[in-house]
Amino acid sequence: MSVDLFGMSLNPWADAAIRLQLVVAFMTVVVMGLIYAERKILARFHQRVGPQKTGPRGLLQSVADAVKLVGKEDLRPAAADPWTFELAPYFVFIPIFLGFVIVPWVQGWNVRLLELGILYFVAISSISIVGWVMAGWGSDNRYAIIGALRAAAQGISYELPLVLALLSASMLAGSLQLDKIVEFQSVVPLIVWQPLGFFIFFVAALAELNRTPFDIPVGESEIVGGPFVEYSGIRWSMFFLAEYAGMLIMAFVGSSVFLGGYSWPFGEDFGLPFQMLLAAGKGGLFIFLIFWVRASVPRLRIDQLMGYSWKILLPFSFLQILINGFVLVYGLPHIILLITGVLSLGLLFWVTEGIVKRPLQPRRRRARAIAVQEAEVS
Amino acid sequence: MVEVLSQTSDQSAEFETQDLLLNVGPQHPSTHGVFRMVMTVDGEVVRDVIPYIGYLHRGAEKLCETMDFRQGIGFMDRTEYLAAFNAELSYVMAVEALADLEVPERAQWIRMILCELNRLSSHFMFLGAFGVDTGVFGTPFIYAWREREALIDLFEEVSGDRMMYAYFRPGGIAWDVPVNFVDRVREVLISATQGIDDFDSLLSENEIFLARTQGIGSISAERAIALGMSGPSLRASGVDMDIRRDEPYLKYDQVEWDVITGEHGDVFDRYYCRVMEMRESIKIINQCLEHLAPGPILPEKMPRMLRTPPGEVYLRTEAPRGEYGVYMVSRGGNRPYRCKVRSSCLSNLQALHELTVGEYMADAIVILGSIDIVLSEVDR
Amino acid sequence: MTTEPVEEQFTNQIGDHDDIWSIVDNALLGIGVNRETGFMDVIVSIETDEIVQASRALRDDEDANFDYLRSLTAVDNMGDGMEVVYHLYSTTKKHNVTVKVFLSNESLRLPTVTDVWPAANWLEREVAEMFGIKFSGHPDPRNLLMPEEIDDTFPLRKDHPLAEIEVLQGEGMGYSGEEL
């Protein structure tokens, strides 16, 4: 059996290897660019400038960071368990890379479009939770283990809404294969029919990535780095890269499933460059949203975070599936989806707000002290 | 591999667990200085917290006994470096009380303006650090510090120093303010008002922020009084006590403002009381600026070496963090015989144990931030 | 342009001394007291073994109602012993009083008032470690600011020296005191 790659016929193993290599190379460069982008964008949110000295406009900052990290001493706590401590970065890192297998970048460009695309993606990405727990346990540090257990609890809790949101979208598209979902959206992106699903996916993706407001495992102002507190140099940079690679993959999966990927609008008509623009633009928008949220909101406590997933997101994602099923089985027009989606999203916000609000004003007491003296004097 | 305290918790009969002993600090990004807490944690719930202080103890009180009354001002600055004008104020007023010095009007109004501006800058520092404690990555910090920079620049123009001013003297102030002082203060107040509003809109109505701060770490009014708390931390529990109004010093009886009290005494009330207090401070400063008139800044007959007759005085003022008092005993001569600094942060920190036990571990940091301590004042 | 006599600057802090004295006297009901007037507050002196009873009386009496312990400190009078000074305030009646207990150098002990005002907890710990005064019945008599191992040095006593550099202040002196 041979496969086509750039017009060459190759053994499928070699072909997969080459494609994976290309993806890895591409991804590494993009991730370094993402790190720089985050620093610059967050700086603009803070009215600062961000990196500006290393290279023109600070563009070589990520390179400088990489060089520094490579040169650092590789410290390992004396009592750390050698197997778990050393293997943990790989357990975090590799599943995310493997997730790139099914991502449709543009039409015809991908590693392997599996028929079980979404299912594969979710199954593989949940393995990295094991890596977090290994890192925490192997570090022989109380902060690390607390962070690891928090990460495990959080990761497991938010898998469900993530899967259900993706599944509800694929129900409409009729397939789990990502490029079929993208092509289904050539006229209307799925976010229009699934606003609730998109919101649930976005929130669950933030939680899976351990980004603010769900970054309590890595709570910098409390347990200072969580499971990664004992890692230094290259090992730590693997975790760091894994985080940004995870962001990248969530962005691309999210934009493929909900925003129309390379296909909407008119992607298939205008050819490859336009598709690349669309794919990059939508992925970039998704990532910008993640950065924006990071600059704006405090972090949730672990019990609030778990409560939000199990008590609010999960029921609402079931609701979304129910509505989808209803509409599909009875052949109702898709506009019902939009209306019910917006209403359910409003209901979700209302339920969340109702739990936390309390009137703001403390009491004021006028303090005009001893004005009597002046009255007496005058 | 992971050491746990071999102490079984008896909370649930059917599930045997062990408590974890966790050490927070002294090097920690959230402890606002060198401070150490040993928390005993059962899962995520704090069962016990033991604070260890004294890392920043520099013997300010002992040193003051060897310095004359002007040299001691520098030590007072350094005990509370975020609100140094208020710290200096207590000390110089105590000396004036003992030495029977008359302070000219202009000096009093200038002192008042600077102390209230210092309250603003100290509260901005609190807002920034508190925002970071709740988990936002840096945005509240930068917002707050943008305003604080404007204030600190003004302080530098007035006294020559950004943080440890050594500007007040017994009898008045060291030198007069720059000619454009009033305009500069008005400028700074405009940007500070805008800054407070910006900050308010960023955090005070954010649902996640409210979920993190409301209902957490509350203390009742009776308990707060019994523990000796003061300042906004006390007023947030509903206790109506403000030294500026109850025992007015400087010219506080000639200006009008509101004393803000909270209701629930939780973390959010402590935060919001400070935000509203900042607006009140701006009101006070505006009124002071109207009263400011040309005049002398030191008494005419100012002795070169200040000596005080024997006596003692306990002089308290309302610093941003609470009641900052100076108990000064003089046996004649040009030095204090005993100079005790009643530290607001020390008394507020005593309440940490009560506030934190029973709350979640993540809340311990938020509660510590809400008490707003500065370790140099706790340790002196 | 006017300057004010210094008493008027503090009028509102001083309060009416005779008023406060009569209230305090009533509250203390026969516990031996001694009255002075400091610059701002009425000062009452109480015997060592009566301090807890007096504190309770001052806190619980309706007219006095001194429920707020502002400050607790000590002064080393060298040969004449030490005095422990309590500054009290009433949040309801808004008046102040200062209470002193005189201790002789031979017996630096007195009972704790932590049961009356929990605020005294850390304040007494500090006085204990700085002056060597023992507060009997204190729930947590560890060092507060000093290192935990040190229990025989009391820095704020007058016979405890400062380091040499502090004594040698003047021009022409080097870091360790030698002439430049």
C-alpha pair distances (Å), C160 with each of B57, C77, C126? 17, 13, 16
Question: Residue B340: its chain C contacts at CB < 8 A?
Answer: 71, 73
C-alpha pair distances (Å), A108 with each of A30, A271, A349, C99, C152? 20, 11, 39, 88, 82
In what helix (H) or strand (E) does residue B380 lie, and over which residues does it extend?
none
Question: Residue A348: its chain B contacts at CB < 8 A?
Answer: none
pLDDT tens for A351-361 read 887 665 555 55
pLDDT of residue A55: 82
Question: Is B18 part of a structural domain of the chain?
Answer: no
pLDDT tens for A308-341 read 889 889 999 999 999 989 888 888 888 888 888 8
User: Taking residues A158-173, what's their average pLDDT?
Assistant: 90
The answer to whether residue B371 scores a pLDDT higher than 80 is: yes
B360 at the A interface (CB within 8 A)?
Answer: yes
* Beta-carbon contacts of residue B236 (< 8 Å; ≥ 6 apart): A362, B261, B262, B264, B265, B266, B269, B270, B272, B273
Closest residue by Cα to residue A191 from A258, A265, A253:
A258
Mutation site for A-interface testing, chosen from B32, B39, B137, B267 by largest number of A Cβ within 10 Å: B137
Q: At what angle do helices A272-296 and A195-208 cross, to 10 degrees?
A: 70
* Record: contact C147-B312, CB cut-off 8 A: no
Annotate B246-268 with b (16+ C-beta within 10 A) or e (fewer): bbbbbbbbbbebbbbbbebbbbb
CA distance between the termini of chain B: 39
Q: At which residue do the structure tokens 């803000």 appear? A: B260
Tokens of A281: 């633009």
C-alpha pair distances (Å), A5 with each of A14, A19, A64, B309, B376? 10, 9, 35, 98, 68
Tokens of C34: 């001694």
Q: At what angle do helices A128-138 and A142-173 cross, to 10 degrees?
A: 180
Q: At which residue do the structure tokens 């940091």 appear? A: B365
pLDDT of residue A357: 56
Length of chain A: 378
The whole-angstrom separation of Cα B283 and Cα A345 is 43
Rounded to the nearest 5°, which phi and psi values hold at C161?
Answer: -80, 160
Question: Residue C156: its chain B contacts at CB < 8 A?
Answer: 61-62
Q: pLDDT band for position B251 (50/70/90)?
A: confident
Across-strand partners of A103? none
Q: Over the Cα atoms of chain C, what is R_g? A: 20
Percentage above 90 pLDDT, chain B: 21
The stretches in chain C having pLDDT less than 70 are 1-40, 163-180
Annotation: CATH topology of C6-170? Beta Polymerase; domain 2 (3.30.460)
Which of residues C180 and B42 earns the better pLDDT score? Answer: B42
Annotate B182-204 with b (16+ C-beta within 10 A) or e (fewer): eebbeebbeebeebbeebbebbe
Which of residues A311 and A222 earns the better pLDDT score? Answer: A311
* Beta-carbon contacts of residue B21 (< 8 Å; ≥ 6 apart): A142, B3, B4, B5, B38, B39, B40, B41
Task: With beta carbons less than 8 A apart as the criterion, state whether B225 and C68 touch.
Answer: yes
pLDDT tens for A273-300 read 888 888 888 899 999 999 999 888 888 8
Tokens of B233: 């931390």
Question: Residue A299: its chain B contacts at CB < 8 A?
Answer: 134-136, 208, 212
Q: At which residue do the structure tokens 């008023």 appear? A: C19
Number of domains in chain B: 1
In what helix (H) or strand (E) does residue A121 lie, and over which residues does it extend?
helix A117-125
C-alpha pair distances (Å), B83 with each of B88, B116, B155, B164, B280? 9, 10, 12, 9, 17
The whole-angstrom separation of Cα B200 and Cα B140 is 10
Q: What is the ipTM of this complex?
A: 0.84
The whole-angstrom separation of Cα A308 and Cα B220 is 30
Please name the residue ranges forming H helices in chain B: 60-64, 72-79, 84-99, 105-134, 139-159, 181-199, 207-213, 221-226, 232-235, 243-246, 267-291, 344-350, 352-356, 361-371, 375-379
Question: Is B1 part of a structural domain of the chain?
Answer: no
Task: With beta carbons less than 8 A apart as the criterion, state whether C88 and B327 touch.
Answer: no
> What is the three-class DSSP state of B119?
helix
Chains that touch A (3 or more CB pairs under 8 A): B
Alpha carbon B293 to its chain's center? 29
Question: Residue B360: its chain A contacts at CB < 8 A?
Answer: 301-303
Tokens of B215: 């209902």
**DSSP string over C96-126:** EEEEEEEE-TT--EEE--TTT-TTHHHHHHH
Strands B322-330 and C96-103: unpaired
Q: At which residue do the structure tokens 């600011």 appear? A: C145
**What value does the mean pLDDT of chain B take?**
85
pLDDT tens for B143-182 read 888 889 999 999 999 998 888 888 998 888 888 889 899 9
Length of chain C: 180
pLDDT of residue A212: 75
- Where in the sequence is the domain holding B96, given as residue range(s)? 58-379
The answer to whether residue A376 scores a pLDDT higher than 60 is: no
DSSP letter for A21, please: H
DSSP letter for B140, please: H
Task: With beta carbons less than 8 A apart as the criterion, state whether A113 and A177 touch.
Answer: yes
pLDDT tens for A243-280 read 899 999 999 899 888 988 888 787 777 778 888 888 88
Question: Is B118 part of a structural domain of the chain?
Answer: yes
C98 at the B interface (CB within 8 A)?
Answer: yes
pLDDT of residue B190: 93
pLDDT of residue B114: 93
The whole-angstrom separation of Cα B226 and Cα B220 is 10
Q: Tell me the count of A-B CB pairs closer than 8 A.
A: 153
C-alpha pair distances (Å), A304 with each of A300, A310, A348? 6, 10, 16
pLDDT tens for A75-113 read 888 888 888 888 888 998 889 888 888 888 877 777 777
Tokens of B217: 């770490």
Whether the upstream peptide bond of residue A56 has omega within 30° of 0, thus cis, is no
pLDDT of residue A369: 40
Question: Is B36 part of a structural domain of the chain?
Answer: no
Mutation site for B-interface testing, chosen from C2, C4, C70 by largest number of B Cβ within 10 Å: C70
* Record: contact C166-B246, CB cut-off 8 A: no
Q: pLDDT band for position B249 (50/70/90)?
A: confident
Q: pLDDT band for position B278 (50/70/90)?
A: very high
Q: At which residue do the structure tokens 């960023």 appear? A: B202
Per the rule left: phi > 0, alpha: psi between -120 and 50, beta: everything else, C2 is: beta
Q: pLDDT band for position B115 (50/70/90)?
A: very high
The whole-angstrom separation of Cα A272 and Cα A279 is 10
The whole-angstrom separation of Cα A325 and Cα A314 is 17
Chains that touch C (3 or more CB pairs under 8 A): B
Q: At which residue do the structure tokens 């008599």 appear? A: C141
Chains that touch B (3 or more CB pairs under 8 A): A, C
pLDDT tens for A179-207 read 888 888 888 888 888 899 999 999 999 99
Task: With beta carbons less than 8 A apart as the criterion, state whether A143 and A223 touch.
Answer: yes
Tokens of B121: 């800058």
Across-strand partners of B260? A364
pTM, 2 dp: 0.86
**What value does the mean pLDDT of chain A take?**
82
pLDDT tens for B118-129 read 999 999 999 988
Tokens of A253: 């999966």
Tokens of B17: 């667990």
> What is the three-class DSSP state of B350?
helix
pLDDT of residue B7: 41
Q: pLDDT band for position A363 (50/70/90)?
A: low
* Record: contact B342-C70, CB cut-off 8 A: yes
Percentage above 90 pLDDT, chain A: 12
C-alpha pair distances (Å), B124 with each of A46, B129, B130, B136, B164? 16, 9, 10, 16, 17
Question: Is B31 part of a structural domain of the chain?
Answer: no
Question: Is B142 part of a structural domain of the chain?
Answer: yes
Whether the upstream peptide bond of residue B303 has omega within 30° of 0, thus cis, is no
pLDDT of residue A356: 58
Strands B322-330 and B338-342: antiparallel
Listed by start position, the domains of chain A span 1-71, 72-358
> What is the three-class DSSP state of B316?
strand
C124 at the B interface (CB within 8 A)?
Answer: no
pLDDT tens for C39-84 read 667 777 887 877 888 888 888 877 778 889 999 999 988 888 888 9
* Burial bucket for residue A274 (CB in 10 Å: 0-12, 13-18, 19+): middle
Q: What is the CATH number of the domain that holds B98?
A: 1.10.645.10
Q: At which residue do the structure tokens 């392997």 appear? A: A112
The whole-angstrom separation of Cα B6 and Cα A35 is 43
Closest residue by Cα to residue B287 from B340, B251, B240, B334:
B251
Question: Residue C67: its chain B contacts at CB < 8 A?
Answer: 225-226
pLDDT tens for B185-243 read 999 999 999 999 988 888 887 888 888 888 888 888 889 999 989 999 999 888 888 88
pLDDT tens for A25-38 read 888 888 888 999 99
Q: At which residue do the structure tokens 């927070």 appear? A: B24
Task: With beta carbons less than 8 A apart as the criterion, state whether C40 and C71 touch.
Answer: no
State which residue of chain B sits closest to C146, comparing Cα positions.
B54
Listed by start position, the domains of chain C span 6-170
